Structure 1
Amino acid sequence: MSIDRDWYSGFRIFRLQILKNMAGKSPELTELQRTSGSWAKVVDEIVRLEKKIFPKHESLARSFDDELKKKNSGLLYLEIDGDIAGYVMYSSASSLCAVITKLAVKEKYRRQGHGEALMKAAIAKCRSKRINRISLHVDPLRSSAVDLYKKLGFQTDTLVRAYYSSDRDACRMFIDFDNE
């Protein structure tokens, strides 16, 4: 699938629509910077969210700070009235390919477009680095997540048996871009 040059503009319009739909709440999408004075506070809150949402063997809670120290990794988070609503973590092992490693949205903020906004922002960030492919893994039983990724143009590559645990598989999905 090819995404045209107006894609980022579309993301900005989408973000403005979210802002209009939030009635009194002011969501702010931010890239976590190590030099930020709020680094520790943000990471602590994200680690709490990570522990609550993901099973212990899938959680990065114990190694979250280390993951973010890796070269070419990044984290975008959405804050609403001082509350972190969700985050997306990504990394790029090469200049050609990136991986979405985590997407999480607090339960009270789900089904409001925040996961989509986070994913679009991560895709835009990767596109700005001229990444050709973004991939991710998702539990095929998480149909809302699978539907979101398909909506954004991701295609299913293969089923990876026992990816999460001996009885839980994952779909590997990807999106390709035509860089000019």
Structure 2
Amino acid sequence: MAAKVEILELKRNSHPNNNWDKILNEVVKMEKKLFPKHESLARSFEEELRKKNTGLLYLELDGEVAGYVMYTWPSSLCASITKLAVKESCQRQGHGGSLLRAAIQKCRERKVQRVSLHVDPLRAPAVHLYKKLGFQVDALIRGYYSSDRDAYRMFLDFDAD
């Protein structure tokens, strides 16, 4: 039997069964496991999500949170993918791409002109995914994550309709 996969938007007070806390706890647990402490938003997810122009989509696989993408859109000119994560046991199954496409679609709906993100150049699967979805490398930012870890700044422009 095929797994049930859904991408849902986390919204306070309008979430089915008001599972906000449960889902946020799952996201924070995943964040702590997948990202080094100095790169983690685990302590500030709730604060980040209170901001008016921040969204979080999560992937539910058979009722369990298996991944998430957080994005911001400070203006109509640009948006940023600030986090994208998939549980290790669920990686390499297309879930990261599904989450990223859903976030890109949300940005399109908001008439954003450019989506940007940062990624460690050594994370080849992530870089490959971003390029596959149309992102281009804009610059190499030296020391972005730490003194010895750089980042590619990547962007995706939407055609003006």
CA contact (8 A) 1:72 1:91 kept: yes
Shift of 1:159: 0.3
Of 52, 59, 64 in structure 2, the residue corresponding to residue 71 of structure 1 is 52
Are positions 1:171 and 2:152 aligned together?
yes
Q: Secondary structure at the match of 1:160?
A: strand
- Residue 32 of structure 1 is matched in structure 2 by 10
The alpha-carbon deviation at position 83 of structure 1 amounts to 1.1
> C-alpha distance in 2, partners of 1:142/1:178?
28
1:120 aligns with 101
Q: 1:82 aligns with which of 63, 83, 96?
A: 63
Identity of aligned residues (%): 65
TM-score by length of 1: 0.86
In structure 2, give the amino acid aligned to 1:142. R
**Structure 2, unaligned runs of 5 or more:** none
Which residue number corresponds to residue 5 of structure 1?
Answer: none
Q: Report the structure, 1 or 2, having the larger helix content.
A: 1
Where has structure 1 moved over 6 Å in runs of 4 or more?
none
Q: How many residues align?
A: 158
TM-score (norm 2): 0.96
Deviation at 1:136, TM superposition (A): 0.1
Q: CA deviation at 1:24?
A: 2.4
Corresponding residue for residue 105 of structure 1: 86
Preserved CA contact (<8 Å) 1:99 1:136: yes
Q: Quick one: which amino acid aligns to residue 24 of structure 1? A: A
Letter in 2 for 1:99: S
Say whether the 8 Å CA contact 1:88–1:122 is kept in structure 2: yes
Unaligned 5+ segments in structure 1 are 1-22
Work out the CA distance in 2 between the residues paired with 1:171 and 1:65.
27
Stretch deviating more after TM superposition (23-32 or 70-79): 23-32
* CA distance in 1 between partners of 2:138 and 2:20 (Å): 35
For the aligned residue pairs, the C-alpha RMSD in angstroms reads: 0.7
Corresponding position of 2:130: 149
Higher relative contact order (CA 8 A, sep 6+): 1
Task: Tell me the CA shift for residue 71 of structure 1.
Answer: 1.3
Kept in 2, the 8 Å contact 1:130–1:179? The answer is no
Match status 1:136 vs 2:117: yes
Secondary structure (helix, strand or coil) at the match of 2:74 reads coil
Structure 2 counterpart of 1:6 = none
